[in-house]
Amino acid sequence: AQSVSQHNHHVILSEAASLELGCNYSYGGTVNLFWYVQYPGQHLQLLLKYFSGDPLVKGIKGFEAEFIKSKFSFNLRKPSVQWSDTAEYFCAVRQNTGGFKTIFGAGTRLFVKA
């Protein structure tokens, strides 16, 4: 069965530290890839997405992610985190077979210390 793995369930960083959240998926076909963020008490929001083209995609608030097809990975990065980045981050993979099924990872809770 298809799955999405996020390597860290909890990450604690100090402000200005660099961030990388891992995401791997198991599906051999064409995929669309997403990162969503849920700030405390708020809705899930789309952070960035990859559909085709440049495998390095840039999203809102200085986040970026790189799709490495050979590694089935779509890691999220930010060079310097801020306290306001404290949130839960979800990686999601949609199989681009004409269906609508999107599989989400378990999420990574990021806490940034001021």
Which of helix, strand or coil describes residue 20? strand
Q: Smallest distance from the beta carbon of 2 to another protein, in angstroms?
A: 11
Rounded CA separation 25/31 (Å)? 10
Which of helix, strand or coil describes residue 111? strand
Q: Of residues 27, 64, 77, 104, which one binds another protein by CB under 8 A?
A: 104
Pick from 39, 32, 43, 42: which is nearest to 91 by CA?
Answer: 32
Segment lying near another protein (by CB under 8 A), choices 17-25, 65-73, 77-85, 97-105: 97-105
- Decide: is 8 part of the binding site for another protein (CB under 8 A): no
Draw the binding track, 28-67, toward another protein (x: CB under 8 A; -: no contact).
----x-x-x-----xxxxx--x-xx---------------
Q: Smallest distance from the beta carbon of 92 to another protein, in angstroms?
A: 8
Rounded CA separation 94/87 (Å)? 23
Tokens 């806490």 belong to residue: 111
Q: Smallest distance from the beta carbon of 45 to another protein, in angstroms?
A: 8
Rounded CA separation 31/29 (Å)? 6
Interface ranges with another protein (CB under 8 A): 4, 6, 9, 32, 34, 36, 42-46, 49, 51-52, 90, 92, 98, 100-107
